[in-house]
A and B are shown apart, each in its own frame.
Chain A
Amino acid sequence: MNGPQSQRRILVAVDASPLSLAALEAAADLARRWQAELAALFVEDVNLLRLATHPGIEVLSLLSARRQPVDRAAFEDILRAQLARARRAVEAAALSRQVAFTFTVRRGRVEVEVLAAAEEADLLIAGWGGRGLGGGLGPPLLGSTARALAERASRPLFLLRERMGPVHAVLVAYDGSPASGRALALAAEIARRDGGAIDVLLPARAPAELEPAARAALAGGGLEIRCHALDASGLRGAARKAPGCVLVVAAPVGEDLGELPCSVVVVR
Chain B
Amino acid sequence: MTHAPLPAELLHRRCDPSLLPFETTAELGDIAGPVGQQRAVEAVRFGIGIRAEGYNLFALGPTGTGKSSIVRHFLAQAAERQPVPDDWCYVNNFAEAHRPRALRLPAGRAPAFRKDMERLVEELRIAIPAAFEGDEYRNRRQAIEEGFKNQQESSFGDIQRRASERDIALIRTPLGLALAPVKDGEVVSPEDFKKLPEERQGELKHAMEELQKELEATIKLVPRWEREHREKIRALDEEVTNDAVGHLVDELMERYRDCPAVGGYLEAVRADVAENYGAFLPQGGEERPAMPARMAAEPERDFRRYRVNVLVSNGEMKGAPVVGEDHPTQPNLVGRIEHIAQYGALVTDFNLIKAGCLHRANGGYLVLDARKLLMQPFSWEELKRTLQAREIRIESPAQTLGLLSTVSLEPEPIPLDVKVVLIGDPMLYYLLNAHDPDFAELFKVAADFDYRMDRDGDTVLDYARLMGMVARQEGLRPLARDAVARMIEHAARLAEDAEKLTTHMASITDLVREADYWAAQAQAPVIAGEHVRRAIDAQVYRSDRIRQHVQEEIARGTLLIDTAGAVVGQINALSVLQIGRFAFGRPTRVTCRVRIGKGEVVDIEREVQLGGPLHSKGVMILSSFLSSRFAAEAPLSLAASLVFEQSYGGVDGDSASSTELYALLSALAEAPIRQSLAVTGSVNQHGRVQAIGGVNEKIEGFFDVCQARGLDGSHGVLIPASNVKHLMLRPDVVAAAENGLFKIYAVETVDQGIEILTGVPAGEKDERGEYPVGSLNRRVAARLAALARKARALAAQTRTNNGNDR
Interface residues of chain A, those whose CB is within 8 Å of chain B, are 46-48, 50-51, 53-55, 57-62, 65, 67-68, 70, 74-75, 78-79, 82, 109, 130-131, 133-135, 137-139, 141, 165, 240-241, 243, 261
Are the C-beta atoms of A50 and B212 separated by less than 8 Å? no
Given contacts A65-B222, A138-B149, 10 further A-B contacts (CB under 8 A): A46-B187, A48-B171, A51-B178, A60-B212, A67-B216, A75-B174, A133-B152, A133-B177, A133-B222, A243-B133
Query: What separation, in Å, do the CA atoms of A166 and B188 have in the docked complex?
Result: 45
- Tell me how far the C-beta of A168 lies from the nearest C-beta in chain B, rounded to whole angstroms: 13
Which chain B residues border A165 with CB–CB below 8 Å?
Answer: 284
Are the C-beta atoms of B149 and A141 separated by less than 8 Å? yes
Q: A54-B190, A141-B152 are in contact. Are A135 and B222 (CB under 8 A)?
A: yes
Interface status of B173 (Cβ within 8 A of chain A): yes
Are the C-beta atoms of A57 and B180 separated by less than 8 Å? yes
Interface status of B300 (Cβ within 8 A of chain A): no
Which chain A residues border B187 with CB–CB below 8 Å?
Answer: 46-47, 50-51
User: Closest residue to B182 on the A side, CB-wise?
Assistant: A47
Which chain B residues border A109 with CB–CB below 8 Å?
Answer: 185-186
User: Closest residue to B286 on the A side, CB-wise?
Assistant: A163
Q: How large is the interface on B (under 10, 10 to 19, 20 to 34, 35 or more residues)?
A: 35 or more
> Quick one: CB contact mask for B215-226 with A, threshold 8 Å, 1 for yes?
110011010001
Q: A59-B178, A133-B152 are in contact. Are A67 and B172 (CB under 8 A)?
A: no
User: Closest residue to B233 on the A side, CB-wise?
Assistant: A138
Which chain A residues border B215 with CB–CB below 8 Å?
Answer: 60
- Tell me how far the C-beta of A79 lies from the nearest C-beta in chain B, rounded to whole angstroms: 8
Q: A60-B216, A109-B186 are in contact. Are A133 and B175 (CB under 8 A)?
A: no
Which chain B residues border A62 with CB–CB below 8 Å?
Answer: 176-177, 219, 222
Are the C-beta atoms of A58 and B178 separated by less than 8 Å? yes
Are the C-beta atoms of A137 and B230 separated by less than 8 Å? yes
Are the C-beta atoms of B148 and A138 separated by less than 8 Å? yes
> Quick one: CB contact mask for B156-178 with A, threshold 8 Å, 1 for yes?
10000000000001011111111
User: Closest residue to A136 on the B side, CB-wise?
Assistant: B226
Interface status of B748 (Cβ within 8 A of chain A): no
Give the most central of B135, B138, B171, B173: most A CB within 10 Å: B173
Query: What separation, in Å, do the CA atoms of A137 and B152 have in the docked complex?
Result: 11
Q: A47-B187, A134-B152 are in contact. Are A58 and B212 (CB under 8 A)?
A: yes
Are the C-beta atoms of A261 and B219 separated by less than 8 Å? no
Are the C-beta atoms of B175 and A78 separated by less than 8 Å? yes
Query: What separation, in Å, do the CA atoms of A20 and B138 have in the docked complex?
Result: 26
Give the most central of B133, B187, B190, B220: most A CB within 10 Å: B187
Query: What separation, in Å, do the CA atoms of A59 and B173 have in the docked complex?
Result: 8
Interface status of B384 (Cβ within 8 A of chain A): no
- Tell me how far the C-beta of A100 lies from the nearest C-beta in chain B, rounded to whole angstroms: 28
Are the C-beta atoms of B186 and A50 separated by less than 8 Å? yes
Are the C-beta atoms of A57 and B148 separated by less than 8 Å? no
Are the C-beta atoms of A47 and B171 separated by less than 8 Å? yes
Are the C-beta atoms of B219 and A65 separated by less than 8 Å? yes
Q: A60-B178, A141-B149 are in contact. Are A240 and B138 (CB under 8 A)?
A: yes
Interface status of B145 (Cβ within 8 A of chain A): yes
Supply 5 A–B pairs (Cβ within 8 Å), ascending by A.
Answer: A62-B177, A65-B216, A65-B220, A78-B175, A134-B226
- Tell me how far the C-beta of B230 lies from the nearest C-beta in chain A, rounded to whole angstroms: 7
Interface status of B153 (Cβ within 8 A of chain A): yes
Are the C-beta atoms of A55 and B190 separated by less than 8 Å? yes
Are the C-beta atoms of B169 and A47 separated by less than 8 Å? yes
Which chain A residues border B189 with CB–CB below 8 Å?
Answer: 50, 53
Which chain A residues border B153 with CB–CB below 8 Å?
Answer: 141
Q: A60-B216, A65-B220, A133-B222 are in contact. Are A46 and B175 (CB under 8 A)?
A: no
Interface status of B13 (Cβ within 8 A of chain A): no
Query: What separation, in Å, do the CA atoms of A61 and B173 have in the docked complex?
Result: 9
Interface status of B142 (Cβ within 8 A of chain A): yes
Which chain B residues border A48 with CB–CB below 8 Å?
Answer: 171, 173-174
Interface status of B504 (Cβ within 8 A of chain A): no
Query: What separation, in Å, do the CA atoms of A139 and B147 have in the docked complex?
Result: 11
Are the C-beta atoms of A133 and B156 separated by less than 8 Å? yes
Give the most central of B133, B174, B177, B190: most A CB within 10 Å: B174
- Tell me how far the C-beta of A218 lies from the nearest C-beta in chain B, rounded to whole angstroms: 28
- Tell me how far the C-beta of A68 lies from the nearest C-beta in chain B, rounded to whole angstroms: 7
Give the most central of A55, A62, A82, A241: most B CB within 10 Å: A62
